[in-house]
Structure 1
């Protein structure tokens, strides 16, 4: 397992543990997808608004986000980390998904949840502007809708594992494509010549 695989696994486990601690009724991948969808569509959320979205997704009273310091601190860091990963020039962004230790069906369910969240986040942020998005983005959205509706793998064999990896990579690159489309590059830090 590479360092990035370990980090990815630990990230999902930390989110899942937090959701279990708060008895959340939604999937951590779905919330991460919703955040990524909003960020990719060009939106940014103030801490208060992000914590309200977290509470809504987790089925918690809105006051829980402010009252639970560990939840607020974790989610504030998660927001910043996710935005930085989407901006990263090395395209190292990864959707929040369980690792290979989980059953194929659980990983497929998490991918579907992430995609549903991503599409929801994009729709909330971009709204009707998605109708006039470039053809590649509209085609990607159609593909994501279709992928999110897959509920089970044909079998647990190596072919299914390989297909899931390919689909996950397509989703990852699609999220980055949307981010690139709706977020202008940041100007480089100015360098003063003396």
Structure 2
């Protein structure tokens, strides 16, 4: 089984970044990846170029790193286009403090919003539903969230709700830009 078939998590990608001498969080690039897949269908080659540019290298150090970075793109695309609507942003998990998780969400949102700012014009926005527009309009505020938070149940619940909002906005954007993908079941059709 190749690395492309394995489920990548935040630590897997962060390890690849470290191997390339980068201490940056993958969350920012994951936000960009999600928006790029929704708006431009970024190719595997273009994605590898973007990651390498961000890491300050010409190409991945080795085949395993390249496969992991390409697997990250494939995993994100598969989740965005799946009928299960199970896409989740690549963020620090429960092994990290809530402050680190909040910082990851903040960076993910910054990356996502950056692509929206680069790629979306008024003509495109006019084709989107009011629900999507409202969800996307909330994201710039999310990119400014306070990250110096204590590990408390209340903060954990708030962070979960904010992450869920970002996740849903990402899936709605993908779905509206790719009608028929995923094949979302219509719940308002009468049952015979």
TM range, normalised to the smaller chain? 0.7 to 0.9
Structure 1 runs not aligned, ≥5 long: 1-6, 189-194
1:32 deviates by 1.0
Q: CA RMSD in A?
A: 2.3
Relative to structure 1, the CA distance from residue 50 to residue 128 in structure 2 (aligned partners, 3 Å threshold; closer, same or farther) is farther
Alignment of 1:95-174 (within 5 A): 95-132=89-126, 133-152=128-147, 155-174=150-169
Which structure shows the bigger proportion of residues in helix conformation?
1
TM-score by length of 2: 0.81
For structure 2, which runs of at least 5 residues remain unmatched after alignment?
Answer: 1-5, 184-192
Tell me whether 1:49 sits opposite 2:46 in the alignment.
yes
Per-residue deviation, residues 82-129 of structure 1 (Å, max 9, x unmatched):
101001111111100111121111000000011111112333343454
Q: CA deviation at 1:138?
A: 2.6
Structure 2 CA distance, aligned partners of 1:105 and 1:54? Answer: 25
**Which residue of structure 1 aligns with residue 26 of structure 2?**
28
| Equivalent residue runs for 1:168-183 within 5 Å | 168-183=163-178
| Residues 38, 44 of structure 1: 8 Å contact kept | yes
Mapped partners of 2:53, 2:118: distance in 1? 14
Query: Which residue matches 1:4?
Result: none
Name the CA distance, whole Å, in 2 between partners of 1:27 and 1:154: 18
The answer to whether the aligner puts 1:19 opposite 2:17 as a matched pair is: yes
What's the CA shift for 1:14? 0.3
Q: Normalising by structure 1, report the TM-score.
A: 0.81
- The 8 Å contact of residues 112 and 149 in structure 1, kept in 2 or not, is answered as yes
Cα distance in 1 between the residues matched to 2:42 and 2:166: 23
Q: Number of residue pairs matched?
A: 177
Summarize the Cα distance change of 1:187–1:17 in structure 2 as closer, same or farther, 3 Å threshold.
Answer: closer
